[in-house]
Amino acid sequence: MMQEAAAHKTASEAAPLLDVRDMTVQFFSRHGTLTALDNVSFAIRPGEVLGIVGESGAGKSLTGASIVGLLPDSGRVTAGEIRLGEQRIDNLDRTRMRRIRGREIGLIFQDPQTSLNPLLTVGKQLVQTITSHLDMSAAAARQRGIELLRDVGIPAPERRIDSYPHQFSGGMRQRVVIALALCADPRLVIADEPTTALDVSIQAQVLALLQDLVRKRGLAIMLITHDMGVIAEVADRIAVMYAGRIVEIGPVRQVIDSPSHPYTAGLMSAIPKLGDRARRLVQIDGNMPRLDAVPSGCAFNPRCPRVMDICRVERPQLRPARAGHAACHLYPALPQAET
Amino acid sequence: MSILRRFANSDLGYSFLHSRVVVAAAIVVAVVVVAAVGADALAPHNPFDLASLELFDALTPPAWEAGGQWIYPLGTDDQGRDVLSAIMYGTRVSLMVGFASVALSMAIGIPLGMISGYFGGMLDSVIMRFAEIQLTFPAILIALLIDGIVRTALPRDIHSDIAVFVLIAAIGFSNWVQYARTVRGMTLVERSKEYVQAAQVTGVHPLLIMLRHILPNVASPVLVIATIGLALAIVTEATLSFLGVGVPPTQPSLGTLIRIGNDFLFSGEWWIATFPSVTLVALVISVNLLGDWLRDVLNPRLN
Amino acid sequence: MLGMLLRRMVESLIVLFAVAFIAFSLFSFIGDPVNNMLGQEATEAERLDMRERLGLNDSVIVQFTRFIGRAVQGEFGVSYRQSRPVIDLIAESLPATLELSFFAMVLAVGLGIPIGIQTAINRDSLVSKALMTGSLIGISLPTFLAGILLIMIFSVKLGWLPSFGRGQVVQLGWWGTGLRTWSGIKALILPTITLAIFQMTLIVRLVRSEMLEVLQADFIKFARARGLRERLVQFGYALPNTLVPVITIVGLQLGSVIAFAIVTETVFQWPGMGLLFIQSVTFADVPVMAAYLILIALIFVVINLLVDMLYYVIDPRLRSMGGL
Is C249 touching B (CB cutoff 8 A)?
Answer: no
Same domain, C132 and C163: yes
Domain shared by C165 and C251, yes or no: yes
Quick check: is C278 in a domain? no
pLDDT digits (tens, 9 = 90+) for A215-249: 888 889 999 988 888 888 888 999 999 888 888 89
pLDDT of residue C196: 92
| Beta-strand relationship, A324-327 and A245-251 | antiparallel
Rounded (5°) CA angle B263-B269-B271: 100
Decide if pLDDT at A275 tops 70: no
Report the domain count for chain C: 2
Instruction: Verify that C231 and C266 share a domain, yes or no.
Output: yes
Whether B283 and B27 have beta carbons less than 8 Å apart is answered as no
C288 and C195 co-located in one domain = no
Other C-beta atoms closer than 10 Å to the C-beta of A156 total 10
Report the candidate in C97, C112, C282, C88 with the shortest Cα–Cα distance to residue C188.
C97
In which domain, by residue range, is C45 found? Answer: 1-80+284-324
The mean per-residue pLDDT over the stretch C32-36 comes to 64
- Please indicate, yes or no, whether residues C266 and C299 belong to a single structural domain of this protein: no
Helices B83-119 & B20-37, crossing angle to 10 degrees?
110
- Amino acid residing at B206: P
Beta-carbon contacts below 8 Å between A and C: 82
Q: What is the pLDDT of residues A37-80, one digit of tens each?
A: 888 889 999 889 999 988 888 888 889 889 988 888 888 889 88
Chain A CB contacts of C230 below 8 Å: 94, 98
The answer to whether the pTM exceeds 0.95 is no
Query: Shortest Cα distance from B153 to chain C (angstroms)?
Result: 5
What is the residue extent of each domain of chain A? Answer: 3-104+184-333, 113-183
Q: CA triplet B93, B97, B98: central angle to 5 degrees?
A: 115
Look at residue C16 and tell me if it is in a domain. Answer: yes
Q: How many residues does the structure list for chain C?
A: 324
A232 contacts: CB under 8 Å, gap ≥ 6:
A252, A256, A274, A275, A277
Give the Cα separation of C253 and C260 in Å (integer). Answer: 10
CA distance C270 to C192: 11
Does one domain contain both C67 and C199? Answer: no
CB contact under 8 A, A167 and C315: no
Q: Mutating which of B243, B259, B295 best tests the C interface, going by the most C Cβ atoms within 10 A?
A: B243
From C226's Cα to the closest Cα of chain A, the distance in A is 4
Is the pLDDT reported for residue B303 higher than 50? no
Q: Residue C30 and residue B152: Cβ atoms within 8 Å?
A: yes
User: Looking at residues C6-23, what average pLDDT do you find?
Assistant: 81
Tell me the pLDDT tens digit for each residue of A183-227: 888 999 999 888 887 888 888 888 888 888 888 888 899 999 888
Q: C215 vs B276, C129, C222, C235, CA distance in Å?
A: 42, 19, 11, 11
For chain B, list the domains and their CATH numbers.
Answer: 2-302 (1.10.3720.10)
Residues B50 and B58: their CA atoms lie apart, in Å, by: 13
Q: Is residue C38 part of a domain?
A: yes
Domain A3-104+184-333 fold is Rossmann fold (3.40.50)
pLDDT in tens, C161-200: 888 888 777 787 778 777 778 788 888 889 999 999 988 9
Q: What value does the mean pLDDT of chain C take?
A: 82
HSE, side-chain direction, 13 A CA sphere, residue A196: 17
- Tell me the per-residue pLDDT of B114-155, one tens digit each, with 9 for 90 and over: 888 888 888 888 888 788 777 767 777 877 877 777 777 776
What is the DSSP-derived secondary structure letter of residue C139? Answer: H
The residues, any chain, with a CB within 8 Å of residue C170's CB and separated by 6 or more, are C176, C177, C178, C180, C181, C184
